[in-house]
Amino acid sequence: MRTEVTLPPSRPFAGTAAFLWTEVIVQSNERMAMVTSMIVPGVILVFVEILNPALISVALVGAILFSTFTMGQRVLNEAAYLRIDHKANDLYLAGPMTPEAYFLGMSFGIMIVYLAPTIFLGILAAIVVPLTLATALLLFVLAAVVWVFAASTGYVFSTFFRDNRAIWAYSSLFFNVFGVLAPVFYPLGLFPAALRPIVLLMPPSAAAALVQAAIGATTLSPGQVALAVGGLAVETVLLFAFAIYWARRTVRAD
Amino acid sequence: MATAAPQFPNVPTRGRALPAFGIVGWRWISRNPAVAITPVLLPFIFLYFLSLISPPSLLPLEIIGAMLFTMQNIGSWTLGDSAFWRIECSLQDMFVASPLSRIRYLFGIAFSNLIAMLPALVILLVLLMWVGGQHGYPFTPLAAVALFAGLFALWILFSSIGIAISSRIQTQREIWPVGNLTFTFLGMLSPLYYPISALPLLWQDVARFFPTTYAALLVQGALGITPATPLQMAFYAALLGISAIAGLAITLRLYRWGDR
């Protein structure tokens, strides 16, 4: 006997909260991954402390931005793992949950679980740098913007892969170029002057440059501030909108 | 029960593991451009970062560190490949059923991953010769022997650590965090990118339990970056060998082949 089940049309973003808590529970069991999320910022902070302790303030605020940036790597890994290895996204998306809720629920769930190391770095920065209330607020807003950019990038990237093995290479390259090569952990002034406009258009280093300017570690011209703020805002909004569109489109394509 | 030899008497069953895994390694990087580029670029990204924040005099030492760290990182890639083939492709069952022994399998995967790392090592070697010469540390035959001995010991040791850990991993989700945590942590504890004297005393003592420390001290001593007498060099070489053999013995005990 065949039974027809007609689901009512879902309102936009329906299911975000439910999938968010699913992802929080899943990620809470990934203790090893949580520890690993601190490894790269931890190693770089140790290197800076040993090789050039004068830069530790800049490295600490950079580590906060980098740790929110690498949450995108977790989104990439998780989205790819659920789709490729578990084939669970088909199951989730066959229900009333909307594709954008799947993307946002996953991103927020991962962010909530991986926030603890970032808060720890924030406390450390408040002691070492030290941060004024205005600088702390600026850092918070910029870290949130970097997270939106990274989560959107991670989700969109994850849809391009057919096997998990290739992801490690591509994601390592992407997150190291944007987070370690670009001046996130060191002052913008140490980066070649001719290439500074490029790194000011890369969200993690743009955010780092703005915070460095706020704590007096870097001097930015009004044009550089405009480039960093404008680039950060435009790229993040466009990429987030594209991630929502892409989440809906890839479901229809299936 | 039928075996491969009577069925295919003219097919050689020895001497084929390394070339076969060599082709696997080459195919993997030739089909995935990022896989070829990433191991080459990652040490340079890190080296560039270090060169910006540290005194220029440390650059030759940091290049040696990048070479040793690249070799150590083969362990992470070996872990990833071995776990992926076992969990996702169920290939290990086929290898267990074949005449291939677990040691040849280990060397095969280590060799296939070495191919991906070779371009980075060659470029770093050329850079070391050039920068070392400029800083007054010529690349002598003794330095070459020490460097290749250190790289070889780390290649074998960390590949075996990678494959031993991979044989205990249950899901693909664990591969990335376990590999990253293990190999980055081991790399950070040893004085690869800075002189051992720059570390706090307690850390120096801990670092002396790791083979990578002796590989670094041996190569730094051979190039003259960290002064060492011939007796000290022999001591470092002996400790590198002993700690590598001890590490190898432990990892081979942990390495599960056909029992699961």
Picking from B27, B187, B163, the residue whose alpha carbon sits closest to that of residue B107 is B163
Q: Looking at the partner chain, which of A85, A173, A186 has a beta carbon nearest the beta carbon of B172? A: A85
| Domain assignment of residue A4, yes or no | no
Residue B4 has pLDDT above 60, yes or no: no
CB spacing of B176 vs A36 below 8 angstroms: yes
Q: How high is the ipTM of this complex? A: 0.85
The residue of chain A with its CA nearest to that of B49 is A181
Please list every residue in chain A whose beta carbon sits closer than 8 Å to the beta carbon of residue B32.
Answer: 166, 169
Whether A6 is covered by a domain: the verdict is no
Which tops the pLDDT comparison, B12 or B76? Answer: B76
Residue B128 lies in a domain: yes
Sort out which chain A residues have CB atoms less than 8 A from B180's CB and list them. Answer: 36, 39
Do A40 and B188 count as a contact with CB atoms less than 8 A apart?
A: no
Q: What is the pTM of this model?
A: 0.84
Residue of chain B with shortest Cα separation from A48: B53
What pLDDT, on the 0 to 100 scale, is given for residue B140?
92
**CB-CB under 8 Å, B198 with A36:** no
Q: What is the pLDDT of residue B9?
A: 66
Give the number of domains in chain B: 1
The closest CB to that of B172, out of A48, A164, A172, belongs to A164
Closest residue on chain A to B82 (Cα): A165
Residue A76 · residue A155 · CB < 8 Å: yes
Residue B53, domain member (yes or no): no
Output the pLDDT for position A205: 96
Q: Specify the pLDDT at position A94.
A: 77
User: How far is B137 from B143, CA to CA, in rounded Å?
Assistant: 10
pLDDT value at A254 more than 50: no
pLDDT band at A163 (very low <50, low <70, confident <90, very high): confident
* B99 prior amide bond cis, ω within 30: no
Distance from the A11 Cα atom to the nearest Cα atom in chain B, whole angstroms = 32
Domain extent, residue A149, equals 16-253
Of the candidates A164, A168, A186, which has its C-beta nearest B52's C-beta?
A: A186
Residue B121 has a CB neighbour count (10 Å cut-off) of 19
Q: Please report whether residue B83 resides in a domain.
A: yes
**pLDDT in the model for residue A252:** 56
Average pLDDT in the B101-106 region? 85
Q: How many domains does chain A have?
A: 1
Q: Which residues of A touch B38 (CB under 8 A)?
A: 169-170, 172-173
> Does residue B27 form part of some domain?
no
Most confident of A159-163, B14-18, B32-36, B126-130: B126-130
Is the residue at A61 inside a domain?
Answer: yes
Averaged pLDDT, B194-201 = 88
**pLDDT score at A222:** 95
* Cβ-defined contact of B53 to A180 (cutoff 8 Å): no
- Characterize A120-152 residue by residue with b for buried, 16 or more Cβ atoms within 10 angstroms of its Cβ, and e for exposed: ebbeebeeebebeeebbebbeebbebbbbbbbb
Can you tell me the mean pLDDT for A136-160?
A: 95
- Confidence grade of residue A193 (pLDDT, cut at 50, 70, 90): very high
The answer as to whether B229 is a domain residue is yes
Cα separation, A44 vs B176, in Å, equals 19
Determine, for residues A164 and B32 on separate chains, whether the beta-carbon distance falls below 8 Å.
no
**pLDDT-based confidence at residue B5 (cuts at 50, 70, 90):** low
Q: How many C-beta atoms surround the C-beta of residue B60 within 10 A? A: 25
Provide the shortest C-alpha distance from residue B93 to chain A (in Å): 19
Structure token digits, residue A230 = 């404008």
CA–CA min distance B206, chain A (Å): 16
Which pLDDT does position A6 carry in this prediction? Answer: 63
- Res. B10: pLDDT tops 80: no
Least confident stretch, A35-39, A117-121, B145-149, B193-197? A35-39
What angle in degrees, to the nearest 10, is found between the helix axes of A99-113 and A71-80?
Answer: 130
Structure tokens at B161: 């650590």
Does A5 reside within a domain?
Answer: no
Contact between residue A3 and residue A89 where contact means Cβ atoms under 8 Å apart: no
Of A88-92, A156-160, A229-233, B52-56, which one has max mean pLDDT? A229-233
Within-domain flag for B119? yes
Kindly report the three-state secondary structure assignment for every residue of A157-215.
Answer: HHCCCCCHHHHHHHHHHHHHHHHHHCCCCCCHHHCCHHHHHHHHCCHHHHHHHHHHHHC
A76 interaction partners in chain B (CB closer than 8 Å): none
